[in-house]
Chains A and B, each alone.
Chain A
Amino acid sequence: MDATTAFAEQQPVRPDHRLVAEMVEPGARVLDVGCGDGALLALLERERRVDGRGIEISREGVSQCVARGLSVIQGDADTDLADYPDDSFDYVILSQTIQATRQPRQVLEHMLRIGRRAIVSFPNFGHWRIRLELGLKGRMPVTEKLPYSWYDTPNIHFCTIRDFVALCDEVGAQMERAVALNAGGEPVRVNVPWWVWNLFGESGVFLLRRR
């Protein structure tokens, strides 16, 4: 049994991780930006046999990743992506992290430069529950998935699914696949208009490439 298998047995796979893993071709070179404790990267190495690398801002996260046998560098998506050469990865992944970056647009542009493809997943701020909190209660939403108060949240750049689609247009990213997951982690039905996704998707997962 190797390290990744040992860890895998301890925690169930998150639905958004499962979806990201399905988007990655086996054996690819992958950079996971903001890889946290390495759960997604370990899943990708285990199930997709990728050659994986990670960047993580927290020391604890890096230590956990290193102990799992993952190659992870302590660093900051906002400043360190500039150091990576063009086309050095098949996929650059930003999993539930874009809302915590200072320069989301710049980060996305770097991802599309460094990787042949980019995968971005993020919490959808257009979800009906969030709209309800803000619209009816008039308070910044605090939910199970987004548990921070406005004054201490690391999430400084929330966006909705439609906002993100607009950003993709602006930076010239082509969407190869887009999926919205509902609160239960199930994909929202396809063949519905964007506004439905934007209302019922709790998170969005996008597979992008340069146009």
Chain B
Amino acid sequence: MDEPASLVARFGPDKPLVMDCGARLAPWQIAYQTYGELNAARSNAVLVCHALTGDQHVANPHPVTGKPGWWETMVGPGRPIDTNRFFVICSNVVGGCMGTTGPASLNPATGKPWGLDFPVVTIRDMVRAQAMLLDHLGIETLFCVVGGSMGGMQVLQWAASYPERVFAAIPIATAAIHSAQNIAFHEVGRQAVMADPDWRNGRYLEEGVKPAKGLAVARMGAHITYLSEKALHRKFGRRLQDRDAPTFSFDADFQVESYLRYQGEAFVERFDANSYLYVTRAMDYFDLAADHGGVLANAFRGTKTRFCVASFTSDWLFPTSGSRAIVHALNAAGASVSFVEIESDKGHDAFLLDEPELFATTGGFLAAAARARGL
């Protein structure tokens, strides 16, 4: 965990990560990947922020699963985020489990995994860590920060916390506040993890076990929220799995059951259960307006960053109304903002899939921003 198959920036006791909960995390490290080349003016850096269970492997095969990078449709040579033009950075979030310090890392005070002694992480903590990584890399300003879902929250936080460091921002399928419904879904997932007897109050790593069932159930539940009724119906309908008739049992008769079980099992191979608790919690706590006197527009007052906001028609986890609230606030703050709602029946996951309109809009926005930036 602490020696990941990617680049790592390590920060000693002199450079603690100061966290919202009051903790000063040190030593700590952040794992990241880069693609393309930083230009001489150091002005072409694009930070990609990953979503809840994503990681830094945005455009290379995943070292654990061997699957393609999670956003290869968007990031790569000739893609909308063109690695021939831009220097792309993607780092694993604090609290994650792909090499950045998180609950599975060793606590230097005890020599054992942190477990639940790891301080609770916020979206702002994640962004602070990324800012320290950029300082480490000698990159003063980002040409663009882009991400979907929890990645989009980081994009908004970047624009609010470091407006002078962000030239352009693309928050996709996200919101400036995590809704009660979404907190509720997260709580179900966490309770599933904690109900697994192998969770052992978070100390499962020391005891050589894994709350695989609980985490798999959490993933199954969450996975439904990433899709849409239409997408599920199109993909599976009521079709049966490898059988001609129901078995009158609780076996996975339906394809959709089999699919969800597979998703759950695959997920536990690559994700740490405690990380899941921490990262979902970070999203729950996200309320950008609350940090600015209850007025979201105040988060963006005087910003020079140009924004391109996108949502999807069938996304019920982060519906268009959440994106419109962001746009409304940006307008009230006099910011430069574009917004498009993309027609798709694929639900929240649409932002990760082959959506030509998303590529056309983000590609066009980036090309125009690059001209304005002189890239």
Which residues in A have some Cβ–Cβ distance to B below 8 Å?
Answer: 2-3, 53, 59, 62-75, 83-85, 88
Contact = CB atoms under 8 A, between A and B. Distances in A.
Contact of A71 (B328, B337, B363, B371): B337
11 contacts: A3-B367, A65-B338, A68-B364, A69-B368, A69-B369, A69-B371, A73-B339, A74-B340, A75-B339, A83-B328, A88-B334
Q: Could you tell me the dominant secondary structure of chain A's interface residues?
A: mixed
Nearest to A54: B338
A66 B334 contact: no
Contact of B340 (A2, A62, A70, A88): A62
Given A59-B340, A73-B339, A83 B331 contact: yes
A57 to B, nearest CB: 11
Interface of B: 306, 308, 327-328, 331-332, 334, 336-343, 357, 360-361, 363-365, 367-369, 371-372
Contacts of B372: 2, 69
A63 B361 contact: yes
A85 B332 contact: yes
A67 B368 contact: yes
Given A59-B341, A71-B337, A71-B338, A3 B357 contact: no
SS class of chain B's interface: helix, strand, loop or mixed?
helix
A63 B306 CA distance: 15
Contact of B364 (A53, A66, A75, A88): A66
Given A53-B337, A73-B327, 12 more contacts: A3-B367, A3-B371, A53-B331, A59-B341, A63-B340, A63-B360, A64-B364, A66-B368, A67-B368, A73-B339, A74-B340, A74-B341
Given A2-B372, A69-B369, A69-B371, A62 B343 contact: no
Nearest to B339: A73
Nearest to B311: A74
Contacts of A2: 371-372
Given A70-B338, A73-B327, A84-B331, A62 B369 contact: no
Given A66-B308, A67-B365, A73-B337, A59 B342 contact: yes
A139 to B, nearest CB: 35
Given A3-B368, A59-B343, A66-B361, A72 B338 contact: yes
A110 to B, nearest CB: 14
Given A71-B336, A84-B331, A63 B357 contact: yes
A3 B306 CA distance: 15
A84 B328 CA distance: 8
Nearest to A74: B340
A73 B338 contact: yes
Contact of B357 (A53, A59, A70, A71): A59
B368 A62 contact: no
A84 B360 CA distance: 28
Nearest to B374: A2
Nearest to A71: B336
A1 to B, nearest CB: 8
Contacts of A62: 338-340, 361
Nearest to A6: B371
Contacts of A70: 338, 368
Across chains A and B, which 10 residue pairs bring their CB atoms closest together, nearest first? A67-B364, A69-B368, A73-B339, A71-B336, A66-B338, A62-B340, A66-B365, A3-B368, A74-B340, A66-B364
A60 to B, nearest CB: 9
A72 B372 CA distance: 16
B334 to A, nearest CB: 7
Contacts of A88: 331, 334
A63 B339 contact: no
Contacts of A65: 338
Contacts of A84: 331
Contacts of B365: 66-67
A82 B342 CA distance: 23
Contacts of B357: 59, 63
A45 B327 CA distance: 21
A74 B368 CA distance: 18
